[in-house]
Amino acid sequence: MQFSTRFSFLSHLAALALLVLPLPLLAQQPTTPARPPLQPGAKPQTEKPETVAPAPALTLAEAIRIGLENNYNIRLSRTDVQIAENNVTRGNAGQLPVVNGNLTRNFTRNNVRQESSSRPEPSTASNAPSNQLNANVAATWTVFDGFGMFIAYDRLKALNQSQQQLTRATMEETVADITSAYFAVVRESGKIKSIEEALKIGQARIDLTQARVDVGVSAKVEVLTARVDYNADRSVLIQQQEALATAKITLNNLLGRSARLNFQPADSIVVTRDLSRDAVAQAIQQNNPRLQQARTNIDVATYDRKLVRASRFPQLGLTSGYGLNRNVNGAAFFGNQLVTNTSRNYGFNYGLVASVPIFDGFNRRRLEQNARIGEEQSQLLLSQTQLQLESEAEQAYAQYLNRLQLLELEEANILLARENVAIALERYRLGLLTPLALREAQRTQLDAEVRLLDIRFQAKQAEIVLRRLSSGLVQQQGQ
């Protein structure tokens, strides 16, 4: 009986000595005792799944550079700019003369029967060959059309400017999408790191609980509960790996490269905290390409109306050319004798062409009315675009301010959560805290980590929207 009492006392003394060993208070990197040996061929229940495979680093600036070079929306928009630039010529506006060369060459074979009162017998020819050659160079030049050619040239320049603004808007929006997608990858990677830290705490809990069970101060059910909680965190980690892979695929698609290409984000989410509402509103009015395009479209509509009005004026043109006409007739008769006649005409010609519109069924009046309506539509579209941009900016700025407040709160809260886990883990080592309370502290820290990542990402998204609206993304990256 005394032996049993001494053994029980020594066992409790050993358990107490094990629990009061000095351990670091860092909850992010807990020190764990050695695990019990596994049976040969057995897989440990708490084995952590492989998280993120090593991959080349990718910075945000490099991602934007790749996107500007490879993104298909940007490349297609640039080809539209090339087409618009090629269209801006004086010849396309009708200011230059048009010169054409023409050539006609005909060959014939005829059966001819010619009768004359001066000859008793008719003259005949079978399969007589003849040929004709007609060549000329003709030039036409409209010298006056109610100034329509000059209006058309200004309209082509306005269309080119509108296309350039559209391409710039496409670039701004694509850079915004790339930036948002890049930081989405950063966020999902951060969540994986947070879950890994939670797994370390869960592993420490398992090891400590197993040590207690080995010395007889805890029940096996506590180890099983710790392993169930650990496996639940592993499940969350596996799901988070899928979210990270999806975010990388989305970014690779925007960068115009293979979806299987792996990478690791090298930059972190840093939110600018000094954006001004007035500065953003002023930049939108001055720099936003969508707003500038709407203003340019008003000019295009005005040019369309002027072109219809110009068609009411007379048109005056000059014509000139040089021609050659040769005719070889092999079915000619000189008396009763079959001969071949050859004639040739060549020389220079010039003239004046005038056209005066008198009546076209009121079509010009209809076209001018429609052009005025189109001009009014452009004004309405400008007002609508301006209102949409102002509404989007106000909404983004409200979200920006709200997320900054939440970000400040969550940055302070995460420090409390980490300290709470460190204290809870130490108290659990000393046997002063229940497993349920430790698990709750662990969950609280993980939730705080995830909330901080989400709030920081949302604040950055609002900042990206404000910079896109003020046309600051491409300029900022260019600097």
- Distance (Å, whole) CA 459 – CA 397: 10
Mean pLDDT across 138-150: 93
Query: Residue 22: its pLDDT value, please?
Result: 35
pLDDT digits (tens, 9 = 90+) for 54-73: 789 999 999 999 999 999 99
Share of the chain above pLDDT 90, in %: 71
**What is the pTM for the complete model shown?**
0.80
Backbone angles phi, psi at 11, to 5 degrees: -65, -45
123: confidence class by pLDDT, cuts 50, 70, 90? low
Q: Would the pLDDT of 32 be above 70?
A: no
Query: Residue 85: its pLDDT value, please?
Result: 96
Query: Residue 151: its pLDDT value, please?
Result: 96
Query: Residue 60: its pLDDT value, please?
Result: 95
Query: Residue 23: its pLDDT value, please?
Result: 30
Backbone angles phi, psi at 90, to 5 degrees: -70, -30
Residue of 259, 247, 263 whose CA lies nearest to 62? 263
pLDDT digits (tens, 9 = 90+) for 315-356: 999 999 999 988 877 666 555 666 677 788 889 999 999 999
Mean pLDDT across 107-132: 72
Mean pLDDT across 437-462: 95
Q: Return the ∠ at Cα 244 (arms to 239 and 246), rounded to 5°.
A: 95
Range with the largest mean pLDDT of 80-89, 127-136, 429-438: 80-89
Helices 435-469, 220-254: axis angle to 10 degrees equals 10
Is 191 within 8 Å of 450 (Cβ atoms)? yes
- Distance (Å, whole) CA 95 – CA 154: 12
Three-class SS state of 384: helix
- Distance (Å, whole) CA 173 – CA 120: 95
pLDDT digits (tens, 9 = 90+) for 183-211: 999 999 999 999 999 999 999 999 999 99
Q: Would the pLDDT of 264 be above 80?
A: yes
Residues 6 or more apart whose CB falls under 8 angstroms from that of 434 comprise none
DSSP state of 366: H
For residue 187, count CB atoms less than 10 angstroms from its CB and return exposed for 0-12, middle for 13-18, buried for 19 or more: buried
Query: Residue 21: its pLDDT value, please?
Result: 34
CB atoms within 10 A of CB 97: 14
Q: Would the pLDDT of 14 be above 50?
A: no
Polymer length of the chain: 479
pLDDT digits (tens, 9 = 90+) for 105-116: 888 877 776 666
pLDDT digits (tens, 9 = 90+) for 271-300: 999 999 999 999 999 999 999 999 999 999
- Distance (Å, whole) CA 479 – CA 336: 95
Query: Residue 34: its pLDDT value, please?
Result: 39
Choosing among 1.20.1600.10, 3.10.20.600, 2.60.40.10, 3.40.50.150, the CATH entry for 45-99+147-313+375-478 is: 1.20.1600.10
